[in-house]
């Protein structure tokens, strides 16, 4: 899972590539590099570490040229070193390649190449690609590339340049995203549109099995056998909502923009189109997603049980891939993904489709692989999310899932119209009520400072509160590196209570008024064993609870409250991570978009 970019035109390729890589850093930031045709040779500069290390290296060297490729890496095969950084060049510097994906048969290809005298310089699966193209080169770059593609197995998006064609850039796609952009007498390639949208006006998302050749003569599309295909460019709607504060961490800026994205999301929700789709009728539903997207799915399951009286399963996409698929014709699979490019999620969708299920996606990227695979897509309106940790996207997903639940309940007549109208009004107030949470930011920072040195943090809850607790725990661990776990409150006494002692913190999510007594009991159980506690409640007697901190969220129906608790816990995670000196926007070992299985 990496980001790749390429450029051919009249500008200085290095600055275009660096700008693109900056936008792609969310996909990985273990190393970065560029290769540029300088008129005579392929000039390569690459460095382990953040993009600033590459920028520094480039500031001391003159790398000139207007055709080049760049890469930002999330390490999968081989550690994060200069040597394992992309681009990779073939033995005599004839071909340079950047790769996003995994070459599953790279060991066989490496053995094949070694037998033919090629020496490999890295531990990666990617390096073999450059050597293989070189091996097959007999005078025509496109033919050599296509020949090499026949041997490569796995998933790959590639950008390739060669010393033989100073002004030609190639792009390849199989199971990893790649977009072609067209500017003024110039072309670019990128893992996602954001890296090239400042100078390109028309775009083409490559399909699996396509190769594009970009040069001053134009863009030409081919299949993997070199057969020409019709080129297709389309104009792209600009991001509808991009609210970003200068000089503020992306994660904080994104949390603060949640009220605005909820407002826009509510206004733009395509109710009638969704109703038409749902009216088709489905026997059962399943929700699929990974990480925070899966957690948003849990909020949906709870709402479906409470509001529509339907039992819906949510499954982690990678688990769905390994289990016997219990879906078929008549199943509606609701797939949740911010990026629409998560490999596990996409593979799960393909599997569900093969079984005959229909796909409804809730996605933040209109032209993603997921939306292309879906029968119907709802596009969340939170704008681009840059910080690795999902914050505004999770809340927008949960908002849209609640709206799906309401439409379903209404269509099936499971819930009376007054109740549907009441809940719809609750959802319409989400934005306004979340604003009040954002206004209490200082108080939430205080709480975070309280738990920043915890030995472990347990997030406890029941029903919808448990769904929120799971997201709270994920957020805290991924940005602050504190050990955390989410646990059903009622299960504590069956084992985990053994871990409660001084130094351990519990965040008790207790917004559901019907569970007041049970939540009060949970709190007592952990406090009397020496643990410290934060209670998140919504205007109940727990406001007076003897916890170390009590945070009150706006009162709401229990199916809606998890969204408020989640925002509170996003703040906890952010401020705890800041206080611990962590890089909140780019946590260690992670990347925004997980495009490998």
Nearer to ligand F6R, 191 or 337 (CB): 337
Token pair for 456: 């472990």
d(CA 339, CA 316) in angstroms, rounded, equals 16
Q: Say which residues have a Cβ less than 8 Å from residue 120's Cβ, sequence separation at least 6.
A: 110, 113, 114, 127, 128, 131
> Do residues 202 and 181 lie in contact, with contact meaning Cβ atoms separated by under 8 Å?
yes
d(CA 40, CA 306) in angstroms, rounded, equals 68
Query: Which residue stretch of 198-206, 285-293, 434-442, 548-556 sits at the interface with ligand F6R (rule: CB under 6 A)?
Result: 285-293
Number of residues that bind ligand F6R (CB under 6 A): 15
Positions marked catalytic: 2, 592
Query: Which residue stretch of 6-14, 15-23, 338-346, 547-555 sits at the interface with ligand F6R (rule: CB under 6 A)?
Result: 338-346
| Least separation in angstroms between CB 1 and ligand F6R | 10
Which of 58, 205, 212, 594 forms a contact with ligand F6R (CB under 6 A)?
594
Query: Which residue stretch of 114-122, 126-134, 284-292, 399-407 sits at the interface with ligand F6R (rule: CB under 6 A)?
Result: 284-292
Token pair for 426: 């609750």
| Least separation in angstroms between CB 17 and ligand F6R | 24
Nearer to ligand F6R, 382 or 427 (CB): 382
- In the chain, DSSP finds a helix count (H) and a strand count (E) of 19, 25
Q: Does 390 bind ligand F6R (CB under 6 A)?
A: yes
| Least separation in angstroms between CB 496 and ligand F6R | 23
Q: Residue-wise over 83-106: b if at least 16 C-beta within 10 A, else e?
A: ebbbbbbbbebbbbbbbbbbbeeb
Q: Does 197 bind ligand F6R (CB under 6 A)?
A: no
Strand arrangement, sheet containing 331-337:
313-316, 284-289, 331-337, 358-363, 376-379
Nearer to ligand F6R, 290 or 448 (CB): 290
Q: Does 338 bind ligand F6R (CB under 6 A)?
A: yes
Please say whether the dihedral angle defined by the alpha carbons of residues 217, 223, 229 and 232, taken in this order, is positive or negative: negative
Q: Does 192 bind ligand F6R (CB under 6 A)?
A: no
Alpha carbons within 13 A on the beta-carbon side of 300: 33
| Least separation in angstroms between CB 574 and ligand F6R | 12
CA-CA distances (angstroms) from residue 311 to 308, 359, 488, 561? Answer: 9, 18, 19, 20
d(CA 243, CA 262) in angstroms, rounded, equals 13
Strands of 388-537, DSSP E:
456-461, 484-488, 504-510, 532-537
Q: Does 345 bind ligand F6R (CB under 6 A)?
A: yes
Nearer to ligand F6R, 561 or 593 (CB): 593
d(CA 509, CA 552) in angstroms, rounded, equals 10
Q: Does 389 bind ligand F6R (CB under 6 A)?
A: yes
Nearer to ligand F6R, 149 or 389 (CB): 389
Strands of 115-184, DSSP E:
154-162, 165-174, 179-182
Q: Does 582 bind ligand F6R (CB under 6 A)?
A: no
Residues 290-309, mask of contacts with ligand F6R (x by CB under 6 A): xxxx----------------
| Least separation in angstroms between CB 63 and ligand F6R | 33
Q: Does 25 bind ligand F6R (CB under 6 A)?
A: no
Query: Which residue stretch of 144-152, 288-296, 432-440, 577-585 sits at the interface with ligand F6R (rule: CB under 6 A)?
Result: 288-296
Which residue of the chain is nearest ligand F6R when measured via CB? 291
Residues 477-516, mask of contacts with ligand F6R (x by CB under 6 A): -x--------------------------------------
Which of 126, 339, 374, 565 forms a contact with ligand F6R (CB under 6 A)?
339
Q: Does 28 bind ligand F6R (CB under 6 A)?
A: no
Nearer to ligand F6R, 259 or 297 (CB): 297
Which phi and psi angles does 424 have, rounded to 5°? -60, -40
Nearer to ligand F6R, 90 or 396 (CB): 396
| Residue 552 CA, distance from chain mean position | 30
| Least separation in angstroms between CB 339 and ligand F6R | 3
| Least separation in angstroms between CB 148 and ligand F6R | 30
Nearer to ligand F6R, 27 or 173 (CB): 27
Nearer to ligand F6R, 100 or 537 (CB): 100
Nearer to ligand F6R, 391 or 532 (CB): 391
Give which of 562, 565, 571 is closest to 447, Cα–Cα: 571
| Least separation in angstroms between CB 593 and ligand F6R | 6
Nearer to ligand F6R, 236 or 477 (CB): 477
d(CA 477, CA 448) in angstroms, rounded, equals 13
| Least separation in angstroms between CB 149 and ligand F6R | 27
Give which of 176, 202, 173 is closest to 187, Cα–Cα: 202
Give which of 160, 154, 158, 76 is closest to 122, Cα–Cα: 76
Q: Does 36 bind ligand F6R (CB under 6 A)?
A: no
Chain positions 457 to 476 lying near ligand F6R, rule: CB under 6 A, are: 474
Query: Which residue stretch of 144-152, 252-260, 334-342, 494-502 sits at the interface with ligand F6R (rule: CB under 6 A)?
Result: 334-342
Chain positions 84 to 143 lying near ligand F6R, rule: CB under 6 A, are: none
Instruction: Give one DSSP letter per residue of 37-87, joined into a string.
Output: E-SSSEEEEEEESSHHHHHHHHHTS----SEEEEEEE--SSS-SSTTTPSP
Give which of 233, 201, 265 is closest to 393, Cα–Cα: 265
Largest CA distance in the chain: 79
d(CA 362, CA 370) in angstroms, rounded, equals 9
| Least separation in angstroms between CB 549 and ligand F6R | 23
| Least separation in angstroms between CB 361 and ligand F6R | 10
Q: Does 337 bind ligand F6R (CB under 6 A)?
A: yes
Strand arrangement, sheet containing 3-8:
42-48, 31-37, 67-73, 3-8, 187-190, 179-182, 202-205, 234-235
Residues that bind ligand F6R (CB under 6 A): 290-293, 337-339, 342, 345, 389-390, 474, 478, 593-594
């Amino acid at each position: 899972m990496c980001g790749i970019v390429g450029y051919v035109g009249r500008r200085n390729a290095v600055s275009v590539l660096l700008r693109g890589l900056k936008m792609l850093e969310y996909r990985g930031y273990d190393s970065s590099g560029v290769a540029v045709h300088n008129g005579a040779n392929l000039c390569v500069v690459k460095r382990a570490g953040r993009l600033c290390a590459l920028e520094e290296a480039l500031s001391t060297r003159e790398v000139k040229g207007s055709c080049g490729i760049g890469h930002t890496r999330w390490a999968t095969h081989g550690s994060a070193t200069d040597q394992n950084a992309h681009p990779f060049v073939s033995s005599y510097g004839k071909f340079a390649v950047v790769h996003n994906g995994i070459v599953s048969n790279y060991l066989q290809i490496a053995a094949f190449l070694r037998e033919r005298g090629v020496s490999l310089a890295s531990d990666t699966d990617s390096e073999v690609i450059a050597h293989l193209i070189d091996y097959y080169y007999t005078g025509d770059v496109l033919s050599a590339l296509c020949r090499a593609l026949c041997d490569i197995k796995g998933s790959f998006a590639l950008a390739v340049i060669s010393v033989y064609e100073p002004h030609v850039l190639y792009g390849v796609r199989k199971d990893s995203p790649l977009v072609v952009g067209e500017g003024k007498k110039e072309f670019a390639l990128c893992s996602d549109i954001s890296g090239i949208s400042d100078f390109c006006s028309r775009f083409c998302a490559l399909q699996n099995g396509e190769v594009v050749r970009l040069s001053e003569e134009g863009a030409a599309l081919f299949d993997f056998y070199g057969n020409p295909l019709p080129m297709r460019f389309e104009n792209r709607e600009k991001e509808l909502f991009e609210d970003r504060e200068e000089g503020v961490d992306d994660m904080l800026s994104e949390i603060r923009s949640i009220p605005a994205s909820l407002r826009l999301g509510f206004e733009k929700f395509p109710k009638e189109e969704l109703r038409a789709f749902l009216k088709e009728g489905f026997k059962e539903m399943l929700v699929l997603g990974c990480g925070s997207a899966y957690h948003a799915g849990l909020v949906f399951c709870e709402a479906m049980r409470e509001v529509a009286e339907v039992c819906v399963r949510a499954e982690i996409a990678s688990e769905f891939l390994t289990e016997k698929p219990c879906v078929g014709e008549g199943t509606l699979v609701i797939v949740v993904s911010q990026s629409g490019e998560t490999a596990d999620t996409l593979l799960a969708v393909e599997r569900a489709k093969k079984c005959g299920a229909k796909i409804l996606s809730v996605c933040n990227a209109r032209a993603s692989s997921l939306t292309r695979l879906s029968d119907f897509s709802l596009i969340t309106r939170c704008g681009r999310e840059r910080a690795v940790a999902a914050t505004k996207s999770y809340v927008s997903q949960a908002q849209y899932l609640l709206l799906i639940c309401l439409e379903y309940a209404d269509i099936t007549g499971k819930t009376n119209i007054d109740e549907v109208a009441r809940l719809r009004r609750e959802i319409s107030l989400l934005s306004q009520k979340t604003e009040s949470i954002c206004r209490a930011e200082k108080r939430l920072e205080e709480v975070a400072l309280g738990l920043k040195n915890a030995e472990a943090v347990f997030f406890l809850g029941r029903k919808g509160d448990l769904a929120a607790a799971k997201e709270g725990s994920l957020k805290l661990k991924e940005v602050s590196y504190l050990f955390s776990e989410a646990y059903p409150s009622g299960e504590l006494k069956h084992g985990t209570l053994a871990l409660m002692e001084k130094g351990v913190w519990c965040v008790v999510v207790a917004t559901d008024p019907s569970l007041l007594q049970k939540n009060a009991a949970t709190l007592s159980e952990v406090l009397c064993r020496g643990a410290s506690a934060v209670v998140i409640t919504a205007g109940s007697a727990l406001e007076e609870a003897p916890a170390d901190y009590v945070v009150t969220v706006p009162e709401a129906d229990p199916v809606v409250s998890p969204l408020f608790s989640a925002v509170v816990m996003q703040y906890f995670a952010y401020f705890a991570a800041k206080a611990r000196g962590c890089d909140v926007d780019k946590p260690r070992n992670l990347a925004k978009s997980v495009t490998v299985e």
